């Protein structure tokens, strides 16, 4: 643990509708944390829009996740102002989500918590997690590959904090 870095105790994953990428990231991260000594880190997900409020993860994403042993739990919700206080790290799936979050952030301290998810990828060179909603089954698998890589990188980052 690094005494100069603030300890991260909560992570919010954010995409557009909160039915594909961000709930999948939440489920991947929870599974990784359950198998680590950091299983007390809070994980949640939200969307920059509220159009899918209350919906479970997309059935195609759920099927892809379950093939990898993920529970794929959660219900879509929009980002709230209290999220900027509640979460220590807020991870945007793409640059559009990043810009939306920066505009929503109430102050500089909140903006400092916002980062791109792919900043934590270790083996993949993607800069953004692509939205698989309008693509085929391969897109959901690619997203899960990126999420698994990035979440392993997040775990390393958490251990460093």
Q: What is the pLDDT of residues 95-105, one digit of tens each?
A: 999 999 999 99
pLDDT at residue 2 in the model = 53
The size of the chain, in residues, is 161
Please tell me the distance from the alpha carbon of residue 83 to that of residue 132, in angstroms, as a whole number: 25
Query: Which residue out of 20, 21, 43, 100 is catalytically annotated?
Result: 21
Angle at 125 between CA 119 and CA 127, to 5 degrees: 50
Tally of helices (H runs) and strands (E runs) in the chain: 6, 4
Q: SS3 of 4, please?
A: coil
Candidate list 15, 20, 121, 151, residue with the active-site label: 15
Annotation marks residue 15 as catalytic = yes
Residues 6+ apart with CB under 8 A from 127: 95, 116, 118
Full pLDDT tens readout for the chain, 161 residues? 555 567 899 999 999 999 999 999 999 999 999 999 898 999 999 999 989 999 999 999 999 999 999 999 999 999 999 999 999 999 999 999 999 999 999 999 999 999 999 999 999 999 999 999 988 889 999 999 999 999 999 999 999 98
Fold topology of 10-160: Rossmann fold (3.40.50)
Q: Where are the domains of the chain?
A: 10-160
pLDDT, residue 72, reads: 96
pLDDT per position as a tens digit, 116-134: 999 999 999 999 999 999 8
Q: Which residue has the tokens 């990126």?
A: 146
- Residue 101: how many CA atoms within 13 Å on its side-chain side? 31
The values of phi and psi at residue 11, to 5°, are -130, 135
Beta-carbon contacts of residue 4 (< 8 Å; ≥ 6 apart): none
58, 94, 131, 149: the catalytic one is: 131
Torsion of CA 127, 35, 26, 97, to 10 degrees: -20
């Amino acid at each position: 643990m690094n005494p100069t870095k603030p300890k991260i105790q909560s992570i919010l994953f954010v995409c557009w509708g909160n039915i594909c990428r961000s709930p999948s990231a939440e489920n991947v991260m929870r599974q990784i944390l359950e198998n680590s000594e950091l299983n007390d880190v809070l994980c949640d997900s939200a969307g920059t829009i509220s159009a899918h409020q209350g919906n479970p993860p997309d059935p195609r994403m759920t099927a892809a996740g379950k093939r990898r042993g993920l529970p794929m739990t959660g219900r879509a919700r929009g980002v709230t102002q209290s999220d900027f206080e509640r979460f220590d790290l807020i991870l945007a799936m793409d640059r559009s989500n990043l810009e939306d979050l920066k505009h929503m952030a109430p102050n500089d301290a909140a903006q400092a918590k916002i980062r791109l998810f792919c900043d934590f990828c270790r083996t993949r060179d993607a800069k953004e997690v692509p939205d698989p909603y309008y693509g085929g089954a391969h897109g959901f698998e690619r997203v899960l590959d990126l999420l698994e890589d990035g979440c392993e990188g997040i775990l390393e980052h958490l251990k460093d904090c």
